[in-house]
Structure 1
Amino acid sequence: MTSSDVAVGEGTRVFLNFSVSLEDGSEVDSNFGGEPVSFVVGDGNLLPGFERVLMGMEPGQRHVFTVSPEDAFGQPNDNNVQTVARDHFDDDVALEIGLVFSFADAAGGELPGLIVAFDEEEVTVDFNHPLAGRTILFDVQVHRVEPAELH
């Protein structure tokens, strides 16, 4: 079986170009004009909602998919808006609404948080994904699909 006989599905490596845009047409990310990227279906590099729409696509096909918030970055969750004591921030940091800070998460990784309000005592930080609640236009061109080499 040649790679041209393979469609996107479980156990395949997919080589593609893509763009992610909002409904108003503003582009969030794109690798069109560059080298294709590859991923193995189910490896966690692509959100499941984005993987699902690719199933059955074949090399040479290009589609624009509309992905709902539930299948993309989720709906905003009020529990992800936290209040942090102002003294957690250095005194020389000029806080502004709209600034993004990096916070340590429980697993020792980094979690971006958006400053949405602050006063002398407290800073309100939104840890929702910036695209939460947004419908995403996912433009995909599949170049190659091949059986994944499982190690």
Structure 2
Amino acid sequence: MSQIKTGDVVRIHYTGTLTDGSQFDSSAGREPLEFQVGSGQIIPGLDRQVQGMAVGVSATLTVPAAEAYGPRDETRVQVVPRSAMPPELQLTRGTSLQATTQDGGQIALTVIDLTDQDVTVDANHPLAGQDLIFQVEVVEIVNG
């Protein structure tokens, strides 16, 4: 039985939960996730931990925050004057926004607080600082 190794294209079913048991993502009801191992297409910790698994094998894999979306960085939380936002924007806590950086790149922001004068936005990934638990089943090694 062949085992997953770097360079293989694999297909997995997965359910991702936080340490409190709340689910943040799942492939249930969808096609399995397909990716090339070692290519950086998925978070590093999961990519590393599927190596050595075989088709039909299921496992619970814990990925520490440092190997997932990294630690939370409080310098990525900014307070912006509400007047700097387009007036037609309907803002509430949890609203996702896109901002353009000075070099023309795009950055995802989440509104975490707002007042009549200010909007507090967070550029951290929503799962930053979280250890992630994946229930994984290897469906196929496409070119293994």
TM class by shorter-chain length?
0.7 to 0.9
- Aligned position for 1:96: 92
Deviation at 1:127, TM superposition (A): 0.6
Q: For residues 106 and 54 of structure 1, what CA distance do their matches in structure 2 show? A: 38
- CA RMSD, aligned part only? 2.1
> Which ranges of structure 1 fall in alignment gaps of 5 or more residues?
none
> Which ranges of structure 2 fall in alignment gaps of 5 or more residues?
none
> Which structure 2 residues correspond to residues 9-28 of structure 1 after superposition, within 5 A?
9-28=5-24
C-alpha spacing 1:107/1:25, structure 2 compared with 1 (3 Å): farther
| Corresponding residue SS for 1:147 | coil
Deviations 1:100-140 (A, max 9, x none): 22222456453221222334543221111111111111111
With 92-101 and 23-32 compared, the bigger mean Cα shift is at: 92-101
Kindly provide the amino acid, as one letter, of the partner of residue 102 in structure 1: Q
**Percent identity for Structure 1 against Structure 2:** 32
| Corresponding residue SS for 1:7 | coil
Deviation at 1:55, TM superposition (A): 1.1
C-alpha spacing 1:85/1:8, structure 2 compared with 1 (3 Å): same
Q: Name the TM-score, length of structure 1 as normaliser.
A: 0.82
Deviation at 1:78, TM superposition (A): 1.4
- Aligned position for 1:65: 61
| Corresponding residue SS for 1:39 | strand
C-alpha spacing 1:147/1:116, structure 2 compared with 1 (3 Å): same
| Corresponding residue SS for 1:137 | strand
Q: For residues 94 and 73 of structure 2, what CA distance do their matches in structure 1 show? A: 18
| Corresponding residue SS for 1:50 | helix
> Which structure 2 residues correspond to residues 73-92 of structure 1 after superposition, within 5 A?
73-92=69-88
Q: For residues 93 and 57 of structure 2, what CA distance do their matches in structure 1 show? A: 43
Number of equivalent positions: 144
